Structure 1
Amino acid sequence: MTMTPALGALAQVSDALTRAAADAQSGAEAAVTTTIDLTLLILGPIIGAFVGVVVSVLLSALLRKALAKAATASSILARVRRPGHFTFAAWGAWAGLGIALVNPHLSDWNGTSITTFLMHVLLIVALACLTWMAYAAAWVFEDAAKARQDSDQGRSRRFETQAQVLRRLTQSIVVVVGVVAIISTFEVARQAMTTVLASAGVISVIFGLAAQQTLGNVFAGLQLAFTDAIRVGDVVVAGEKKETGSVEEITLSYVVVRIWDERRLIIPSRYFTQTPFENWTRRAAAQLGTVELKLDWSAPMTLIRAKVEQLLTATDLWDGRTWGVQITDSDEYTVTVRVLVSAKNSGHLSDLRAYMREQLISWIVTEEPWARPAQRIEPRQTVTVEQDMSRERIARLAAELAGISGTNEAVAATGTSASHAGT
């Protein structure tokens, strides 16, 4: 009788140990299973990204070899090579995780918060990389325009301007579409966008009024590019102070003008569609310029023309087209001598004008100093003028003598007629 309680206690202890061992075994199995599942979840995106990179490299090599003679296609490949590798890797990682979740061993993980979060993050990264690749591909417009510039020695600057605007417009659209696509991956954002689209009429009116100036500048930028009013590299006189500079960049909303002192003048695009401005290189870069000198009335024009011709033939700044020297104005003290010169572009013309002005002034000072403008003060002499009456008296006497002579001739003629009648 005394052995029964002891055997019962021993049996209970044995059962407890058995259950503990079973729980430990099941816990170890669960830990191993969880580790394997996490490893598969991690390896899925990694393997997918690796496969994506391999596919991208092989595809890039094949296309580069096949399109070696196509300049535009080669330019696109060069632009999208790096973002393309990242794009294929990102989409490969996203697809790899999706394929890993199809595995029956990972069916319990499908739809969990962790996998949903990972899939969402990889999708956002993939969309961002795709946007980056499309953004980089838009540079092909400018690459093609620059290639054409090199082939025709820079004569088709109009295409560079249009390509620059097209590139910016395309990149802006790509960025907007990419951002909208990324935002649309969030459920809350999709619901908000649906609400906004439902009230699109009111929103569009409010947006149009608020962005009137911005949209006006955008359309003005497009107008400038496709009407060929100004081009990159044109020399214009614009701005409130009418400053002269070269068009460095044309964007969708403003124009960058580089002034001679390296300052950049930022002008809204609407200025060039609503305000008159000067374009010195609209048709050709060659220009005419003048140098005006105030000289004395006795300035030796023949010597000045000879000196101008000598100076022009001695410098490379003159393009050899035309030159001239004229007196264009005068006042009580001086005459204005205008020297007309020509140069192949505005930069050379500015240097040529400064060169001619400096050399002519130096020559006049050293060789012809008497031609410098001077104000003369001469004393006034008092002259007494008396009327000479002798000439008047002589004329009167001549008239009287002529009258007396005429009377005698008339009397003689009358006497002769009477004698003939008596006979």
Structure 2
Amino acid sequence: MSPWTISLALVISAFLASWVVHAAIYRLSMHLLSRREEYWRALLRQTKGPARLTLTILALTGAVVSAPLDPRHEAVAGHLLLIGIILCLVWVVRTAMDIWLSMHLRRYRTDVADNLAARKHVTQSRILQRVADTLLLVLGAGAVTMTFEGARQIGISILASAGAAGIVLGFALQPIMRNLFAGIQLAITQPIRMDDAVIVQGEWGNIEEISSSYVVIRIWDKRRLVVPLTYFIEQPFENWTREDATLIGTVMIYLDYSVRVEDIRETVAAFLNQNPLWDRDVFAVQVTDFREFVMEIRILATASSAPRVFDLRCEIREHLARYLQETYPESLPRLRGSFEMASTEK
């Protein structure tokens, strides 16, 4: 029997044996794990493919070592199998992290009114996941690259020289490292969180996505503003929900001095008491300025979120417009003047 025939038989046998062994181990593990151990059961289900592939590669490695192959062919096959094992391990670790994160975030609801703590955990977990994914990808790529003799020699030369090549490599990796450290800093300090209401470059919107290199802001008119991750570390911006989602809405009106401020205060108070958008926290009607022809009246009212504050301000304006039309139709700002009859005597 030729060496190639023996080698092929060993490879086929290793392939079939690995699949049978994996199926037996998988069924036994799922049977032994109780239904309450949800994480491990989910991990076994999600990593079934990479685990089977890893076991197959290990079996094929043993078959290649045992097969009567030429040393050169054996070295090439062994190298390819080593790369396959590294990629499978990266796959398994990545899947395990995703499963743990999804199960961890189940405990936090962001669809409720008071969701500050939930958004904090979700943001922190998402950012750390992006950082871990980047590190895992870099380590995996580095491990695969270092299996090549030429790459090892280049790496040793760079470390030994610490000269121009090291400087060039440092400049090349600078954007990656900046985003990596910016992500870690965002996860720790949390100047922004998922679904925060922010104003960036004059645009108001909510944080929709935080990746390893950029942040996506959902603008109120459904546009998307994509900002580099480092922007929120290096540039000033407004965060309306940093500590609390409650906001104070302001409505400014300019009326004639003939209007009684008490009437404005009473009608706005009655309107707010019947409005579900008002959170019953802050309400004020104040004359904030006297101008030449009008007085400036400021109305303050709070709501539980930025969208509700915007809607509440609009409804207050609409109510006041209707009230003034019905009660004080002459209250809009007017220009006063006096006229004197010209003398007709000569």
Sort the TM-score into its range (normalised by shorter chain).
Answer: 0.7 to 0.9
CA deviations 1:387-422 (Å, max 9, x no partner) are xxxxxxxxxxxxxxxxxxxxxxxxxxxxxxxxxxxx
Other-structure match for 1:394: none
Other-structure match for 2:290: 330
Partner secondary structure for residue 57 of structure 2? helix
Q: Is 2:45 the counterpart of 1:81?
A: yes
| 321-330 vs 242-251, greater mean Cα deviation | 242-251
Other-structure match for 1:155: 116
Distance 1:142-1:376 versus aligned 2 partners, 3 A rule = farther
Kindly report which structure 2 residues correspond to 1:265-284, keeping only aligned pairs within 5 A, or say none. Answer: 265-284=225-244
Are the equivalent residues in 1 in contact too, given 2:158–2:166 (CA < 8 A)?
Answer: no
Are the equivalent residues in 1 in contact too, given 2:256–2:332 (CA < 8 A)?
Answer: yes
CA distance in 1, matches of 2:194, 2:40: 23
Other-structure match for 2:25: 55
Partner secondary structure for residue 149 of structure 1? coil
CA distance in 1, matches of 2:30, 2:142: 29
CA distance in 2, matches of 1:146, 1:247: 18
Other-structure match for 2:190: 228
Higher relative contact order (CA 8 A, sep 6+): 2
Of the candidates 77, 89, 97, which is equivalent to residue 60 of structure 2? 97
Distance 1:219-1:228 versus aligned 2 partners, 3 A rule = same
Aligned residue type for 1:155? L
Q: How many correspondences in the alignment?
A: 340
CA distance in 1, matches of 2:13, 2:262: 92
Distance 1:90-1:141 versus aligned 2 partners, 3 A rule = closer
Aligned residue type for 2:290? S
Are the equivalent residues in 2 in contact too, given 1:80–1:136 (CA < 8 A)?
Answer: no
Q: Is 2:320 the counterpart of 1:365?
A: no
Aligned residue type for 2:55? G
Partner secondary structure for residue 65 of structure 1? coil
What is the root-mean-square deviation in Å for CA atoms of aligned residues? 3.0
Distance 1:96-1:50 versus aligned 2 partners, 3 A rule = same
Kindly report which structure 2 residues correspond to 1:183-202, keeping only aligned pairs within 5 A, or say none. Answer: 183-200=145-162, 202=164
Other-structure match for 1:166: 128
Partner secondary structure for residue 71 of structure 2? coil
Other-structure match for 1:137: 96
Kindly report which structure 2 residues correspond to 1:10-409, keeping only aligned pairs within 5 A, or say none. Answer: 30=1, 35=5, 37-62=7-32, 64-65=33-34, 68=36, 74-75=38-39, 78=42, 81-82=45-46, 84-101=47-64, 106=67, 108-109=68-69, 111=71, 113=73, 115-139=74-98, 142-143=101-102, 146-150=105-109, 154-156=115-117, 157-200=119-162, 202-239=164-201, 242-380=202-340
Distance 1:269-1:88 versus aligned 2 partners, 3 A rule = closer
Structure 2 unaligned residues grouped into runs of 5+: none
Partner secondary structure for residue 289 of structure 1? strand
CA distance in 1, matches of 2:156, 2:98: 34
Superposition deviation, residue 322 in structure 1: 2.1
| Bigger-Rg structure (1/2) | 1
Structure 1 unaligned residues grouped into runs of 5+: 1-29, 384-423
Partner secondary structure for residue 44 of structure 1? helix
CA distance in 2, matches of 1:88, 1:145: 23
Are the equivalent residues in 2 in contact too, given 1:45–1:92 (CA < 8 A)?
Answer: no
Greater share of residues in helix: 1
Aligned residue type for 1:311? F
Distance 1:65-1:145 versus aligned 2 partners, 3 A rule = closer
Distance 1:366-1:75 versus aligned 2 partners, 3 A rule = farther
CA distance in 2, matches of 1:195, 1:345: 58
TM-score between both structures, scaled by the size of structure 2: 0.85
Partner secondary structure for residue 85 of structure 2? helix
Partner secondary structure for residue 290 of structure 1? strand
Are the equivalent residues in 2 in contact too, given 1:41–1:100 (CA < 8 A)?
Answer: yes
CA deviations 1:208-244 (Å, max 9, x no partner) are 33444553343233222212322222222222xx222
TM-score between both structures, scaled by the size of structure 1: 0.71
Superposition deviation, residue 339 in structure 1: 1.2
The runs of at least 4 aligned residues of structure 1 exceeding 6 Å deviation read: none
CA distance in 2, matches of 1:382, 1:145: 87
Partner secondary structure for residue 321 of structure 1? coil
